[in-house]
């Protein structure tokens, strides 16, 4: 079988590094271009030493060049900041190259909302309607037909998977949803900053971005689509002193009396049906009284859910855990690329977590 040539723009950040790890052993894709302005001309393994001994080790990093990418790649991953990605995506799409954008440039359907939250006018708003939102369990058919996929943020991925079954069943109120989320430091990116230095993070725990985190409108957009009504939610992110992982605890109010067994059965049925349609099973619902941990999903596409029905407060509480770099970014991008290229959704993705 002929291997499909793909490119990666932005190879030296954490999401680029993770994509290289996954693509190094992909059975049907070959990374033929890896780009970085700052590291162009160097062997990939000199910049990412963990790739030594893989088939990517001797690859030479190049500067990003849309002509070169379009000439050699059927699909390109964009692991670059928002604002930069939109111009690259527009140029590649114009040249009939499929694109998975890991930035936020095509996640929000309303360019006015994008401008408000990102302080930047969208220069390619005409492409927003073409971009599929890359959450496979919810948008698998749209992703498979898309030329441009907007890869979701890590926080929204964890929150949306926690809420989707309950919202579809109208089990919870759409008013008063609270998403309390914690992320490892890789979520802040690889660029050096005082706030993510070891001594600033180690043995501490803090909130950040309260009330104005840029993932908020993405969540509200997709929660509103699931609920079929506009939604305002409270999103409260925190920084954990760990490398990988997101844990979101989502609080909702129930619309009717249900037992814990009924909710568990509903969640399992919802994701079993989605897995059957998608051809991949990545959401695991924990048994009653047990709770997921970030280490249970490390390095994988799994989203683990723990569910509490609290009759005393009339709340449904869902604990959702993902790996922010794999499920929350690069692994999900690869799953989307698999769907876009007609491959098995789980091709090249780790089957089991890294433990301990």
* Alpha carbons 256 and 110: distance in angstroms, whole number: 33
Beta bridge partners, 252, equal 316
Say what the alpha-carbon torsion angle 226, 229, 233, 235 is, to the nearest 10 degrees. 40
Q: What are the residue numbers of the active site? A: 154
Instruction: List the alpha helices (DSSP H) in 146-251.
Output: 154-168, 198-201, 216-227
Sheet holding 246-253, edge to edge: 206-207, 234-239, 178-183, 246-253, 315-322, 303-310, 283-285
Of 126, 127, 104, give the one whose Cα is nearest residue 116: 104
* Alpha carbons 234 and 54: distance in angstroms, whole number: 44
* Alpha carbons 274 and 267: distance in angstroms, whole number: 11
Exposed, middle or buried: residue 312 (CB in 10 Å: 0-12, 13-18, 19+)? exposed
* Alpha carbons 89 and 103: distance in angstroms, whole number: 11
* Alpha carbons 262 and 178: distance in angstroms, whole number: 22
Do 328 and 14 form a contact (C-beta atoms < 8 A)? Answer: no
Exposed, middle or buried: residue 126 (CB in 10 Å: 0-12, 13-18, 19+)? exposed
* Alpha carbons 114 and 105: distance in angstroms, whole number: 8
Do 331 and 22 form a contact (C-beta atoms < 8 A)? Answer: yes
């Amino acid at each position: 079988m002929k291997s499909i040539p793909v490119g990666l723009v932005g190879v030296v950040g954490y999401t680029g590094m993770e994509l290289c790890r996954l693509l190094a052993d992909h059975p049907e894709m070959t990374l033929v271009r890896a780009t970085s302005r700052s590291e162009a001309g160097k062997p990939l393994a000199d910049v990412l030493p963990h790739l030594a001994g893989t088939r990517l080790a001797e690859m030479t990093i190049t500067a990003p060049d849309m002509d070169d990418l379009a000439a050699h790649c059927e699909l390109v991953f964009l692991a670059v900041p928002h604002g930069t990605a939109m111009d690259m995506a527009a140029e590649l799409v114009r040249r009939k190259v499929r694109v998975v954008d890991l930035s936020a440039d095509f996640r929000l359907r309303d360019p006015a909302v994008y401008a408000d939250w990102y302080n930047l006018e969208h220069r390619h708003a005409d492409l927003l309607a073409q971009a599929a939102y890359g959450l496979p369990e919810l948008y698998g058919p749209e992703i498979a037909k898309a030329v441009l996929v907007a890869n979701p943020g890590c926080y929204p991925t964890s929150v949306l998977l926690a809420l989707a079954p309950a919202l579809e069943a109208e089990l919870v109120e759409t008013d008063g949803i609270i998403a309390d989320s914690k992320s490892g430091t890789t979520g802040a990116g690889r660029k050096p900053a005082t706030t993510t230095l070891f001594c600033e993070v180690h043995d501490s725990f803090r909130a950040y971005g309260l009330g104005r985190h840029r993932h908020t409108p993405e969540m509200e957009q997709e929660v509103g689509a699931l609920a079929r009504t506009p939604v305002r939610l409270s999103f409260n992110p925190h920084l954990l002193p760990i490398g990988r992982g997101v844990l979101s605890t989502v609080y909702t109010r129930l619309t009717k009396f249900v037992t814990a067994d009924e909710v568990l059965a509903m969640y399992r049925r919802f994701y079993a049906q989605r897995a059957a349609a998608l051809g991949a099973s990545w959401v695991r619902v924990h048994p009653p009284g047990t709770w997921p941990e970030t280490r249970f999903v490390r390095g994988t596409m799994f989203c683990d859910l723990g569910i509490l029905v609290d009759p005393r407060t009339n709340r449904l509480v869902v604990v959702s855990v993902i790996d922010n770099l794999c499920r929350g970014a690069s692994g999900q991008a690869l799953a989307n690329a698999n769907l876009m290229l007609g491959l098995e959704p789980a091709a090249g993705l780790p089957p089991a977590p890294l433990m301990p």
